[in-house]
Structure 1
Amino acid sequence: MTPLKDNQDVASFLVTKHTTWKGKYKRVFSIGTHGITTYNPDCLEITNRWLYADIFGLVSPKNINTNQNYDFTLLMRKDKKMDSMKFSSEYKSYILTEAFKYRNVFAEKPKEIFRFQAYKHHWSGTRLPIVLEVGPCSLEQLDPSTHTLLATYPYCDIQGILPVRDVPGGFVLAVGGYSRLHMFSNAMDHQVIINKMLECGSLTLNISIKVLSTTITLDDYHYQRFGKYSGDQHQTSLSEFMVHKVNPARYIEPMRRTLCLSDTCLLERDPQTYSVVCLRPLCDVFAIVRDPDHPQKFSIEYLNGQVRTYLAGERDALLASLVDGVRSAGQRDVHVRMSGTPRAYRLGPLHQPVDEETESNHLRLFQNPGRKSRSEVIERFNANVGYSGLIYSVSQDARPLLWLFLTWDLVSPFILLYYHISVLSLRHISKIR
């Protein structure tokens, strides 16, 4: 088995592996910084791993039907020959999107790179020069000078593409569950960009991106750019805090912003013009990270996996208001952490709860942790089980959990880690009782 030196898993998913001799069985499919690893979901022991330098790609079946749309094949080098392994998952689009972020270090490099000079229409009303790269799984926005990645628009999150009739070469992407609009323009190649996106989405992910027949105007874009949250009822502030946004890819120094809470949304406003720079639904907040070392620093983790970091003089007052607002908006699982959610431990996207089998396996880890440390067992459990508690009926698996928590020696530095990770496990114990 090829060693993956210094590899750190960054995203994991529960998949089904298809073989001719053992049939179908579950595996954890993890995308890492240097390669791909599979694990046995029962004990989380490594079963296979490949360096990206030995991976030729991940492909979807060409002739698909409803049952095959979850299938994908990993192509890799084995004994100097090309080999393949077949998997399936309802989260295929997310798996391939994560894996293709490392496409430039695959054994087979992309034959062509589709980059186009374009403009992004800014919240201030100006047009900013950018570079658009049409990737296998997403449209990527790059800095025109350094080609630093600024933003990614995964094809699986794009609800539709709309032409802009009064802007030459203008088109809008409606992204996310609430149709957030992003507007670009390229007078010469806009149709080439759109066609290439449709081609890549179909070829790599087996998905169809809708190109709507209706057109919009530039004014329509400005009035509706926050989709279903464009109305005043969603943008009227209940409380406001001065913050500095930390984003090294875009700003050398933290950018001053006014962070506003409405009944339904979290807004960033420009303190000079009071224009809305960015808007997020409160129900899309997954967790809040309160930095233990920096007295003003905190981060907000969203259900789509994105993270935004800020500095605030009134940090704790802001976090208290934010937690109340998010819970009032219906997101009962929001919680405050001392470190970021370990995405490598989460077996699926944040916006979907894990299945019953995953929940049961993580309960059984307390009985049989194997080589896993106590802290890792708890971290894995908290990464997969929501803050509000267990979802499925697992009373038989849960009975030993109470005994383990009562008998484990927590009077040590470990108790601090246990407290910092979350009070989730204590909530589970009270439910089990």
Structure 2
Amino acid sequence: MDSMNRRAAEHPPSASADSSSSPSPASSAPHVPEEPEYLARYMVVKHSWRGRYKRILCISTSAIITLDPSTLSVTNSYDVATDYEGATPIIGRDDNSFEFNISVRTDGRGKFKGMKFSSRFRASILTELHRLRWNRIGAVAEFPVLHLRRRTGEWVPFKMKVTYVGLELIELKSGDLRWCLDFRDMNSPAIILLSDAYGKKNTEHGGFVLCPLYGRKSKAFQAASGTSTTAIISNLTKTAKSMVGLSLAVDSSQSLSVAEYIKRRAKEAVGAEETPCGGWSVTRLRSAAHGTLNVPGLGLGVGPKGGLGEQGDAVSRQLILSKVSLVERRPANYEVSI
């Protein structure tokens, strides 16, 4: 887990009365504002003219708040709509630098100024902060691509959209979001180049594989007419570095053909062979893009398709419990679904 608990364990972040004073009657007790529903909270180090000190960075849809971790009292609060301009990584000489800036101002007045922080969770923090401005920022780039369907071996045309925080796969006819992947959720290597039909490591004709973390399945792509594999990979790596401070590793050492990748991908789909302790037939409520769309907050209701939000859907699944894991599988073929 790269963020702290969503709810404060002990006290709200507002100042409280001296604990040594006698309790006041309920009628005269000061009103304590309700703690906002945080999207995420992270332990960070703030850099200022006074030095470096720890803070809890709290991110909600309405405010960016910093707390003193020793008292949980609010040290700074900025309204997202009026006092927050954006966030950027500070690129150091090596990948061990985790500094970033948040551009803010106070009470909707004056110029925006950068607040400097550092955290090993920088990529996740910047991802959440960029999403606060989602309606004000556009796509970084769009590319026509071909996506390999493992079961049929077909290359199907899609549009790949590169965003501030990752990439989205868009269906051409409907414009629906089919799949998405954040830069922070990419493995190392993040991209593997495929060899061409003759086994040569040809960047343009072999295609490439995107490799997610957390057990999610990899996906293979080729550049469609009008672009190149080199252009797509270059844009992905540059955007990840400049927007969330991540260096995506590209592996060009493997002579992995499409046929070999399909065999490897089939083993990924089946998943680990673990002895089941129990199993249940369930209905999974998914968000858009087959459940890969990030869902902020806890207030998203059931939409018209039976899933989470307007574009979410509901699918039948089996939950299989073993001694080491709880696995979601498709009833039709027993494949792991992540």
Q: TM-score over 0.5 for the alignment? A: yes
The answer to whether the aligner puts 1:158 opposite 2:198 as a matched pair is no
Q: Which residue of 1 aligns with 2:41?
A: 12
CA shift at 1:65, angstroms? 4.2
- Larger proportion of helix: 1
- The equivalences for 1:311-326 within 5 A come to none
8 Å contact from structure 2 (residues 269, 335) kept in 1: no
- Larger proportion of strand: 2
Q: Structure 1 vs Structure 2: percent identity of aligned residues?
A: 25
Q: Which residue of 2 aligns with 1:62?
A: 91
Q: Which residue of 1 aligns with 2:80?
A: 52
Task: Report the Cα distance in structure 2 between the residues aligned to 1:147 and 1:82, rounded to whole angstroms.
Answer: 36
Match of 1:276, as an amino acid? E
Select 2:258's aligned residue among 206, 214, 218.
218
- The equivalences for 1:69-148 within 5 A come to 69-78=97-106, 79-105=109-135, 109-110=136-137, 113-122=140-149, 124-125=151-152, 130-142=158-170, 144=172, 145-148=174-177
Q: Which residue of 2 aligns with 1:196?
A: 235
Q: Which residue of 1 aligns with 2:59?
A: 31
The structure-2 alpha-carbon separation of the partners of 1:31 and 1:268, relative to structure 1 and needing over 3 Å to count, comes to same
Task: Report the Cα distance in structure 2 between the residues aligned to 1:26 and 1:153, rounded to whole angstroms.
Answer: 27
Q: Which residue of 1 aligns with 2:208?
A: 171
Q: Which runs of 5+ in 2 are unaligned?
A: 1-32, 198-204, 291-304, 307-313
CA shift at 1:119, angstroms? 4.3
The structure-2 alpha-carbon separation of the partners of 1:256 and 1:55, relative to structure 1 and needing over 3 Å to count, comes to same
After superposition, give the CA deviation of every residue in 1:210-244 in whole Å (9 maximum; x if it has no partner). Answer: 111124223333332378x6787626756443222
The answer to whether the aligner puts 1:276 opposite 2:305 as a matched pair is no
- The equivalences for 1:245-256 within 5 A come to 245-249=284-288, 252-253=305-306, 254-256=314-316
The two structures, once aligned, show a CA RMSD in angstroms of 3.5
After superposition, give the CA deviation of every residue in 1:228-272 in whole Å (9 maximum; x if it has no partner). Answer: x67876267564432222215257352223333456554444433
8 Å contact from structure 1 (residues 238, 263) kept in 2: yes
Q: Which residue of 2 aligns with 1:321?
A: none
Counterpart secondary structure, 1:242:
strand
8 Å contact from structure 1 (residues 38, 48) kept in 2: yes
Task: Report the Cα distance in structure 2 between the residues aligned to 1:166 and 1:262, rounded to whole angstroms.
Answer: 40
- The equivalences for 1:232-271 within 5 A come to 234=273, 239-249=278-288, 252-253=305-306, 254-261=314-321, 266-271=326-331
Task: Report the Cα distance in structure 1 between the residues aligned to 2:220 and 2:122, rounded to whole angstroms.
Answer: 27
8 Å contact from structure 1 (residues 131, 147) kept in 2: no
Task: Report the Cα distance in structure 2 between the residues aligned to 1:230 and 1:255, rounded to whole angstroms.
Answer: 17
Task: Report the Cα distance in structure 2 between the residues aligned to 1:33 and 1:158, rounded to whole angstroms.
Answer: 28
Task: Report the Cα distance in structure 1 between the residues aligned to 2:266 and 2:316, rounded to whole angstroms.
Answer: 21
Task: Report the Cα distance in structure 2 between the residues aligned to 1:102 and 1:205, rounded to whole angstroms.
Answer: 14
Q: Which residue of 1 aligns with 2:297?
A: none
Task: Report the Cα distance in structure 2 between the residues aligned to 1:259 and 1:66, rounded to whole angstroms.
Answer: 39
Task: Report the Cα distance in structure 1 between the residues aligned to 2:231 and 2:114, rounded to whole angstroms.
Answer: 33
Match of 1:197, as an amino acid? L
Task: Report the Cα distance in structure 2 between the residues aligned to 1:164 and 1:237, rounded to whole angstroms.
Answer: 35
The structure-2 alpha-carbon separation of the partners of 1:52 and 1:115, relative to structure 1 and needing over 3 Å to count, comes to farther
Counterpart secondary structure, 2:169:
strand
Task: Report the Cα distance in structure 1 between the residues aligned to 2:258 and 2:272, rounded to whole angstroms.
Answer: 23
Counterpart secondary structure, 1:62:
coil
After superposition, give the CA deviation of every residue in 1:353-385 in whole Å (9 maximum; x if it has no partner). Answer: xxxxxxxxxxxxxxxxxxxxxxxxxxxxxxxxx
The structure-2 alpha-carbon separation of the partners of 1:129 and 1:192, relative to structure 1 and needing over 3 Å to count, comes to same
Task: Report the Cα distance in structure 2 between the residues aligned to 1:152 and 1:83, rounded to whole angstroms.
Answer: 31
Task: Report the Cα distance in structure 1 between the residues aligned to 2:216 and 2:181, rounded to whole angstroms.
Answer: 16
After superposition, give the CA deviation of every residue in 1:149-190 in whole Å (9 maximum; x if it has no partner). Answer: 743232453312112335856321122266842223332433
Task: Report the Cα distance in structure 1 between the residues aligned to 2:73 and 2:129, rounded to whole angstroms.
Answer: 21
CA shift at 1:203, angstroms? 1.9
CA shift at 1:135, angstroms? 2.1
The structure-2 alpha-carbon separation of the partners of 1:170 and 1:115, relative to structure 1 and needing over 3 Å to count, comes to same
